[in-house]
Amino acid sequence: MIKAIIFDLDNTLIDFGEMKVHTCEAAIAGMIDAGLKIDRKKGMEILYELFTKYGMEDHNIFQRFLKKVKGKIDYRILANGIVAYRRVRSGFLEPYPHTNYVLLKLKGQGIKLAIVSDAPRLKAWIRLASMRLSDFFDVVITYDDTKRLKPSNLPFKKAVKMLNLKPADCLMVGDRPERDMKGAQKIGMQTCFAKYGNPKGKDISADYVIKDIKELLDIVST
């Protein structure tokens, strides 16, 4: 019997990849409007190369971008890029369809809900608050809680301990098999691959595969 569902955050509750594209396009456009000489497409290519090297959550990504493109940080250009990025981000943070309905139903059935995310603590909570989802979750584990990224089993162990449950009673839902499924399986959790957040991904090892978050309601009822 499933007593708790633990969710990844990005591309499981929120379409993070799509949001990142739109916010970065806005940032590049803002910097160009402020005087940066670069083609938009080329700018996006360079920015995503830096994301690959330093991570999608890097705090200084636009500073690194300007150093690579201009050889130095122009703070007027930087400020315009950051403002444009934040403006678009604030209007784009929306959960996947049916998310609120499903979380409400699960809570109503007495199922505990948790988050295990690689995002820094403040960024994770800002995303949840922006989507008005923060009150649904009994436990939120972020990178800052263990200083370990998935598939390390430490974030999963901490979540299960705080939920006061056995791993076998918990279902991990995520879009990254190599991180979410692998890490959860290490401690004996059930797993569910959120294919809607990673349409090209494959995971034949997951206990369940869903194409819409509302399918979780069928899983917990079996």
- 128-149 per-position pLDDT tens digit: 998 899 999 999 999 999 999 9
CATH number of the domain at 17-92, please? Answer: 1.10.150.520
pTM, entire model: 0.82
Between these two residues, 2 and 16, which has the higher pLDDT value? 2
* Residue 132 CB partners (closer than 8 Å, separation 6+): 100
Would the pLDDT of 222 be above 90? no
Structure tokens at 21: 């594209």
Considering the segment(s) 4-15+94-221 as one domain, its CATH architecture is 3-Layer(aba) Sandwich (3.40)
- Which among 136, 190, 121 has a CA at the least distance from the CA of 13? 136
DSSP 15: -
Alpha carbon distance 18, 11 (integer Å) = 9
At residue 166, the pLDDT reads: 97
Going by C-alpha positions, the residue among 198, 149, 160, 183 that lies closest to residue 10 is 198
Would you say residue 18 has pLDDT above 90? Answer: no
What per-residue confidence (pLDDT) applies to 204?
A: 72
Mean pLDDT score across all residues of the chain: 94
Is it the case that residue 49 has pLDDT exceeding 80? yes
Angle between helices 40-54 and 61-70 (to 10 degrees): 130
Q: Report, as an integer, the average pLDDT of 41-70.
A: 94
Write out pLDDT tens, residues 65-115: 999 999 999 999 999 999 999 889 877 778 999 999 999 999 999 999 999
Element (H, E) at 76: helix 75-92
* Domain extents in the chain: 4-15+94-221, 17-92
Q: Cα separation of 220 and 217, whole Å?
A: 5
CA end-to-end span of the chain: 8
Within 8 A by CB and 6+ apart from 134, the residues are: 125, 128, 140
Mean pLDDT of 44-68: 94
